[in-house]
């Protein structure tokens, strides 16, 4: 799990409160919004983290293949 600083956490809590107000016409407090945030960080955070690692691995693998091709082209 990653940690948010207080400013980031407060901003996201406000965004969640705004979402509930605008999309559901429902007021939720800071504590409830914080629990929603924690839930999504714990559930989605791991998924997003792993997906980003998968994408990074693909990118690095492609770059290494490109370097190998470039290296092989140096031979005469």
pLDDT at residue 76, as a whole number = 78
Q: Which domain holds residue 37?
A: 6-73
Give a yes or no: residue 63 inside a domain. yes
Q: What pLDDT does 58 receive?
A: 96
Per-residue pLDDT at 1: 60
Task: Give the pTM.
Answer: 0.68
3 vs 58: which has the higher pLDDT: 58
Q: Please check whether residue 37 is in contact with residue 16, taking contact to mean a CB–CB distance below 8 angstroms.
A: yes
Q: What is the pLDDT of residues 19-74, one digit of tens each?
A: 999 999 999 999 999 999 999 999 998 899 999 999 999 999 999 999 989 888 88
Quick one: pLDDT at residue 61?
Answer: 95
Report if residue 30 sits inside a domain.
Answer: yes
Residue 1 counted as domain residue: no
**Count of structural domains within the chain:** 1
CA distance to 17, 31, 40, 43, 71, per residue, from 35 (Å)? 11, 6, 9, 12, 52
Domain presence at residue 20: yes
CA distances from 14 to 7, 36, 48, 58 (A): 11, 11, 22, 36
């Amino acid at each position: 799990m990653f940690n948010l600083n207080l400013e980031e956490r407060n901003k996201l809590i406000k965004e969640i409160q705004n979402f509930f107000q605008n999309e559901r016409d429902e007021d939720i407090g800071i504590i409830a919004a914080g629990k929603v945030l924690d839930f999504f960080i714990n559930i989605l955070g791991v998924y997003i983290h792993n997906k980003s690692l998968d994408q990074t691995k693909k990118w690095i693998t492609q770059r290494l293949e490109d370097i190998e091709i470039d290296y092989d082209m140096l031979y005469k």
